[in-house]
Amino acid sequence: MTIRRLSIGSGYKYLLKSIAVGDGPEATDSSDLVRYYSESGTPPGVFLGVGLVGLDDGRGVVVGQSVTGENLQRMLQDCADPITGQVLGRVPSTKAVAGFDLTFSPSKSVSVAWALADKATREVIYRCHLEAISQVLAYAEREVFHSRSGKQGCVEEDIVGVVAASFTHFDSRDGDPQLHDHVVILNRVQTTNDGAWRTLDSRGLFASTVMLSEMHQGVLSDLLTAELGWDWTAHTRRSSTAPKWEVAGISKRLMDEFSTRTTSILAAKDRLIAQFEEDHGRAPTDVEVIKLRQTATLATRRAKSGRGLGDLTEAWASQAAPFLDDEPTAWVHELGGRDVAAFTSAEFEDAILLDIANAALEVVSAKRPTFSRANVQAEVFRQMQGVRFTTPTERILTATRATNFAVAQALLITTPDLHHTPRLLLRSDGTSKFLRTGHWLYTTATLLDAEARLIDAGQRLDAQVVSSTTVAEVTGQRLPGKGFKLSNDQARCVEQITTSGRLLDVLVGPAGTGKSTTMAGLRAAWELEQGAGSVVGLAPSAAAAEVLGDDMGIDTDNLAKWLYEHRQHGQRKRELDELHEKVRLIERSGRVPSSGLRSDIARREAALERWTLRPGQLVVVDEASLASTFALDELTSAALDAHAKVVLVGDWAQLSSVDAGGMFRTLVRDRGEEASTLGDVRRFRDTWEKEASLGVRDGANPALTTYAAHGRIADGTRDQMLDALYTAWKADTRRGLNSLMLASDSATVNELNARARGDRVASGVVIEAGVEVAGTMTAGVNDLVVTRENNRRFKTETGWVKNGDVWTVSATHDDGSLTVTRLEGGGSVVLPAAYVHENVELAYATTVHRAQGRTVDTAHAFVSPTTTREVLYVAVTRGSNSNHLYVDTNYDPDPSTGHDGLTEIPNAAEVLASVLRHEGADVSATDMIRSTQTQSIAALVAEYDTIVSMAEGPRWDEALSQSGLSDAELSQVKASPAYPALLAQLRDAESRGFDVHTELPMLVMGRSFDYAEDVASVLHHRIDRYVTGVGYPSPPADELVAGLFPRPNGITDPDVLLALDDRASAIEQRARTLAEEAIERGDPWVSKFGDPPPSDELHERWVLEVAAGAAYFDRWGVEGPDTLLDDAPVSHEQDAQRSRVLVATRRAFTLTEFAATPTTQSYEPMSVDLSEPPIAYFEFDR
């Protein structure tokens, strides 16, 4: 199952284009496919969802009723009732999300069997497909879908159900059989508490996508087994440790046959390019390549439009015939009739469920430091995919029970209730509506203990040190074998680390700052005192370890190998003791121990020495952000036992471990400014790229503008960008440059590899015939390939075969094996067929994850909205000469079932800005706990204002109803997106002296609203101008929370007051804490408040003024005065609070001036009239 956001607009029309002519509301509603064999098109869409009961002015719509074009237009163009056309809830903006497309697609084997089956069997498969969708949607309505209300959507609301329209399609965009349904869910749901229509909270939906997808596959498998007697087989995948379950008896070759369109397009395009070069005597330009690609796409496209299901199935049967031993329908029939046991939930005893729960918890906790219930439940469904259940309900019930067992064993780290919640915001079960259902975070005691040990090791100061004299000697001369000295920042880091005495130290180096050189300096300083062999080098991968060894000039290994060998310490000691005892007995008998016995002892002693740490050793772990928490903990514990020191080297802003990680960042954060950090970027040829790369690292949008200004960013469709990327890479390699093609995912890498190979075959460089390698690709003589698994049994003169080694194919063999030669020299090796098929890939393109640590001349990276900031940063820092980004602005999560026009097309700047906001690195459980123990002021204020609004709701309703607004205008005001802002402004104005009962009617009736598009916005504007014009002063500081936020008037309910007081205290405490931290750090913005007064009383008052600034920054997500200067406030609320910060700066300066003036008088707080602009005193405006 995949999810797409659907934009307001006309893209919905595609869903109607393929519907068979004549189908509509008058057609007979049925899942029967018989009529679509002779007719062109697909069945009409049908309505789904419990939320249908609220449509048509409460009369409701029947589930299964056909969807007309007008119905869909009202849903996706207007967010309106599909029957009446009345807008549901607030009028959507032109850029609003109209709905969500949940595309349910069975596994490939199911679609293949459906395509080749007889009509009766195909109908059974289709009914099972629809029933599985119905079951998953019903579960999501009960457990996943919610809405939000309150300020910034801080209140979770239960819903009646969803309004959905489902459309069946028979094939993929490429014409392959792919049965799937687009279930379009309207982005309006009716809440149970008040019947209001609000937007769907998509956060829960996206967080549960994987879980719902796993549920769907399991439920569909159960239904098909019950109806047809199918069994299921697990297929391993290189891209995932979890197997993919397919119908037993359907071969991978047959499934691949119906997934080959992309390869056909590439081959056709390469032939066209070769012909172009022959005809024109030159290579095509980027634009010409795109046109050639489009020509190839059209040439290879199978006719789709206007074909009935009968024509499609006939063509598919012909295509499949060479792969079958029988007639297709008979072959499908033979797949069924198997005696497959099916179970009920009652048959699973608690002990069995506990085993499932433990297995799921082990997998999830190994992958991520913190996890949600949905993460665990998804894994529980995976664990149960090989088991059949009698009904979907039994599967879901069993999974729920197992998930309950799993989360009961985990540690809940989300604080349930930090503050008192009033009764009006409690659910029926007593929980707070401020807490999102099902999104609490968990971790395990095992992981938390490992993190605690690492933090403790980072604070210990009893490790070996190097004298300052020795450090000065090393840093003052050229490094051994290098011919150059350390730079100033490198020398500083070497001194900090070698003299700190810290058991677990860190070295932070942004990309290109010279970490390798610094590590060589560490080795030189350490060995000068501790002797040769006192430095141990490790890295998360064998390839990275080899590079580390070359840079440092020492023997290195990968971390997993070292830990494995270190665990054999006890066994080796026992074996040595036994062998020594044998020698003793032999010698006592007067005999001489054999040379073989002596050799065994020597071998074990050497292994014991190599894999055991000694006192005073320095262990350097490169690319430490890629190491898992458990691996780092095990290594550090070993170092602690041996009285050795560990240095973790890396960059928290780059990629993190594929297993549970995040501790490198935690350790760096705990060290604060004392963390040894390199700052001078040296890698790039162009000076501007040094600063721009650091901007990407920090998530700063202006960096993107810099890359665009230098022509480093292209945007367009996926096909256009892959063509442009490949063409640029090809041009670079032809110029003799070492160039990389990069992508985030294996599928895109495979597509780029296929293009490169096809081009090299067409040009005669590579032999077309070859052997099958991983990813259903072919490798022939002269192809570049990469090995993806360490194997110490396969050796050349320069070493064994490592994950990440690049080779040239020297020969292919009939048994599927390959003879490969190291790309950079060092001999050849024969790789067996089994290894080739599973662990050899084409090497023209690579994932960004595998490229971390590499430096090349140029890099060309494919970027989509799913790319994370860490991936982008690594991608733009691989090339020393240049780095180019190719941005997919038409991204679709599943191109085979996607359709153009369903979503708004962003530009490259918008996509890249979202990438910078999308941080994908693991956050350690320790850091997550720290973050959940306090709320941001933005979150606290949202809750505070929401409680106030609900408590004062009747008062504002009365004030507005008596203001002179007509009934129609009053209804429009309450339905407006600007209504919350209007209420917030009324509260603020009232706190400054505005009389709601007399002045509001004056503003309402002073001028007509006849031409107002949004009455609430116009009224907001009138109040804003009036309050500013009259010059109402800011409320006294004691009437403001943290000097910024107005306290309410007239609330007397003790339950509500307790909730407000709790949050007010939390806001002020956090503001003060942030202010004190900023003062201690010396943040530049603090200087805007003057120097701190020396006396305790005045200093206390001064800190409170600074706290107003800290509260403002935390409330609006800005980080200092530069943002305050450059960015205009986005709302009246922000503008008012910004003004109060400026007033606070004036009061703070007055405190400083008073402290500097000799006087016997006591200080009297100044009163500031906002009608006198504070800008005259401090340049917060320009």
Backbone angles phi, psi at 647, to 5 degrees: -120, 120
**pLDDT surpassing 50 at residue 135:** yes
pLDDT given for residue 303 in this prediction = 44
Backbone angles phi, psi at 84, to 5 degrees: -90, -20
Which of 19-28, 146-155, 273-282, 989-998 shows the lowest mean pLDDT across its residues? 19-28
pLDDT tens digits, one per residue of 443-476: 999 999 999 999 999 999 999 999 999 999 999 9
Looking at residues 822-847, what average pLDDT do you find? Answer: 92
The C-alpha angle with vertex 1092 and arms to 1090 and 1094, in degrees rounded to 5, equals 140
- Sign of the four-CA dihedral 64, 68, 69, 70: negative
Q: What is the DSSP letter of 436?
A: P
Reduce the DSSP state of residue 6 to 3 states and report it: strand
pLDDT given for residue 1180 in this prediction = 27
pLDDT given for residue 1182 in this prediction = 25
Helices 445-459 and 663-671: crossing angle in degrees, nearest 10, is 40
Q: Which positions ≥6 away from 196 have C-beta within 8 Å?
A: 89, 149, 190
Q: What percent of the chain has pLDDT over 90?
A: 68
- Sign of the four-CA dihedral 819, 259, 743, 545: negative
Rounded to the nearest angstrom, the gap between the alpha carbon of residue 232 and the centroid of all alpha carbons in its chain is 32
d(CA 4, CA 101): 5
Q: What is the mean pLDDT of the chain?
A: 89
Looking at residues 538-546, what average pLDDT do you find? Answer: 91
d(CA 781, CA 712): 35
Rounded to the nearest angstrom, the gap between the alpha carbon of residue 599 and the centroid of all alpha carbons in its chain is 53
Looking at residues 309-320, what average pLDDT do you find? Answer: 92
pLDDT given for residue 902 in this prediction = 63
pTM of this prediction? 0.87
pLDDT given for residue 271 in this prediction = 65
Reduce the DSSP state of residue 232 to 3 states and report it: strand
pLDDT given for residue 1177 in this prediction = 24
Q: Which positions ≥6 away from 1046 have C-beta within 8 Å?
A: 987, 988, 990, 991, 1035, 1039, 1040
Looking at residues 644-650, what average pLDDT do you find? Answer: 97
Asked if 1146 and 1180 count as a contact pair (C-beta separation under 8 A), the reply is no
Higher pLDDT, 257 or 105: 105
Q: Domains of the chain (ranges plus CATH)?
A: 2-207 (no CATH), 342-443 (no CATH), 450-568+611-677 (3.40.50.300), 687-917 (no CATH), 937-1176 (no CATH)
Backbone angles phi, psi at 1179, to 5 degrees: -85, 70
Looking at residues 174-184, what average pLDDT do you find? Answer: 92
Rounded to the nearest angstrom, the gap between the alpha carbon of residue 393 and the centroid of all alpha carbons in its chain is 32
pLDDT tens digits, one per residue of 253-295: 999 888 765 555 555 666 677 677 777 777 666 556 556 655 6
pLDDT tens digits, one per residue of 762-799: 889 999 999 999 877 899 999 999 999 999 999 998 88
